[in-house]
Structure formats: C-alpha cells, structure tokens
Structure 1
Amino acid sequence: MKGFKEFLLRGNVIDLAVAVVIGAAFTAIVTSIVTNVINPLIGAVFNASMLDKTLIVHIPTVSGGDASLKFGAVIGAAINFIIIAAVVYFALILPVNHLIKRTFAKLKKDEEQTPQDVPPTDVEVLVEIRDLLRSQQGRSLDGGAHVAPNDAPEGPGLPSTTKL
C-alpha cells in the first residue's frame, strides 16, 4: 500500500490527471467548433447537413441487401483531423513557442548583463587600489615624478617636487 500511495501522490500522476481533464475540455471545444461551424459549411458545399451523409456508394450484397461505402464520413474524419491539428497548433503550440522564445530571450539578455554584476577578483581590486594610490600621489601609471598638491606643506629641507 505504501508504494501505491507514493505512486498516487507523485507529481507526475497529478500532472497527467490535469492534462487529461484539460484535454477532455479542449476536445469538447474543438468538437463543438467542428460540428457546429465547419461541418455545416462543408455540408453546404456538398448539399448535405453533414459529410457523413454525402458521397455514399451503395453496393448490392449477395443476400439481397446492400452495403454502404461512406466516403463522405472518411473525408469528414480527415477534415476533422486537419482542423483539430490546426487548432492545436495555432491555439496551443504557436503561442507557447512564442512565450518560450520570449522567456529565453529575456534569460539570455539577463545572462549577458550578469557578468557586469559579478564582483571583481582580488587581483582586480588590488590593481585598482594601486592605480588610485598612484593617481592620488600624482604618478602616472608607468611611474614618473611625484608632484605634491599645491596646499601640501613642504617637508624639512625637501622641495615640493621630488624624484623617487
């Protein structure tokens, strides 16, 4: 019983149950569209209320009755399949693919921006500190003379500019 309980409470079973219920509801909508809108339009072309009643070929049987080949029903089933496939594609697949593409584009854009948000390494921080100290002391990055600020007091016996 424990294994059966785990099976029933597993997320996949719940997802599958939801998919079956939604699928049944969606099938009802598609069937209604096909039965009440598409079939009457096609039936009007063939001068019948439904394709099931068109293109019937009667074949006499040996026992004296007749068999009916219902080509209209087959054509109607093929058209229903095409219509259902089109509704599924245009109402489900296309919008979901568009949503996924937009989501991945946003994620990709976020990933491209993420490296700017990554904190610098220790070496990069130390190089920045060194460069700031050099610029505050008046040195260029490649070395050079030290120039004291204008308001800096002169040291004992030292001029305001000194070569290090």
Structure 2
Amino acid sequence: MLKEFREFAMKGNVVDLAVGVIIGAAFGAIVSSLVGDVIMPVIGAITGGLDFSNYFIGLSKEVTATNLVDAKKQGAVLAYGSFLTVTLNFLIIAFVLFIVIRLINRIKRSEEAKPAEAPAPTKDQVLLTEIRDILKTK
C-alpha cells in the first residue's frame, strides 16, 4: 500500500497540483498584502481617512464598540468592510490571472502561427538534385 501511495504521489499531475497550490497560496498572500497595505489605505485617504476593515453593523443591542474587534467580542456583527476587502482581493486576483492566461494564450498563438521549417532533404533528394544539375549542364 505504501508503494502504491508513493507511485500515486510522485505522478506528474499530483506534484504539479501541489506546486500550484503552494504558489497560489503565496500569491494570495501577496495580493492580500497589496490590497490591505497599499490599495485600501489609498482608497481610505481618498474617501477621507475611512478604514474599510472597521465597517460593520451591530446585529444586537449589546454591540456598542466603534471598532470591529471589540464589536465581535460584544456580539454578532455584519462586517461588510471585511467583505469589501475580500471582494477587492478576489477581483485583483481574477484580473491578474486573466492577464497571465491572456499572455500565455498569445504566446501559444504566436508559436503556432510560425511556419515550420522545411525538413532537410533526404539523401535520395540530394542525389536526385545532383543528377538533375549534372544533366542540365550537358
């Protein structure tokens, strides 16, 4: 059973999938940082210093806090600011993937459009060409 598992795990598709998941997780962290540390502060500055991560609606009367962390401790909240941030993360990831896939497809199309080089003539063709050239000179 261990041997079968090793064969399964070492197949190209499984290893490729594992690498893709790891790279995807790292890419997700980069995009989260881009949105949280670069884009959202700029949007907040444009909108008057608003911090989207603290946008919430308390769903009970016990919620009186002014920030999301304390509000969650007090009771149920609808954290729509966090949702906006996650949605923006998704849109950025989707757009970047769209651009990457578009670029890959463009490269594939340009490679397919290149005409294939003519194969080198075979020995028979070279010999026939030499015979033809000799006959032309006579």
Task: Please give the per-residue CA displacement for 1:83-125, whole angstroms capped at 9, x wherever unaligned.
Answer: 12123333x32443343334334xx32x1x315x343866x92
Q: Assess, with a 3 A threshold, how the Cα gap between structure 1 residues 129 and 38 changes in structure 2: closer, same or farther.
A: same
Question: How far did residue 77 of structure 1 move?
Answer: 2.3
Distance in 2 between the 1:131 and 1:5 partners? 63
| Counterpart for residue 70 of structure 1 | 79
Structure with more helix by fraction? 2
| Counterpart for residue 23 of structure 1 | 24
Equivalent position SS for 2:89:
helix
Q: Which of 93, 111, 114 is equivalent to 2:101? A: 93
- Give yes or no for contact 1:53–1:72 (8 Å, CA) kept in 2: yes
Q: Which of 124, 128, 134 is equivalent to 1:125? A: 128
Higher relative contact order (CA 8 A, sep 6+): 2
Number of aligned residue pairs: give it: 123
- Give yes or no for contact 1:30–1:87 (8 Å, CA) kept in 2: no
- The residue identity in structure 1 corresponding to 2:50 is A
Equivalent position SS for 2:77:
strand
Distance in 2 between the 1:70 and 1:25 partners? 25
Higher radius of gyration, 1 or 2: 1
4+ runs deviating over 6 angstroms:
none
Equivalent position SS for 1:97:
helix
Aligned residues: CA RMSD = 3.1
1:103 to 2:111 alignment: yes
Structure with more strand by fraction? 1
What is the percentage of aligned positions where both structures have the same residue? 39
Q: TM-score scaled by structure 1?
A: 0.57
Q: Which runs of 5+ in 2 are unaligned?
A: 64-75
- The residue identity in structure 2 corresponding to 1:86 is F
Q: Assess, with a 3 A threshold, how the Cα gap between structure 1 residues 11 and 40 changes in structure 2: closer, same or farther.
A: same
Equivalent position SS for 1:114:
coil
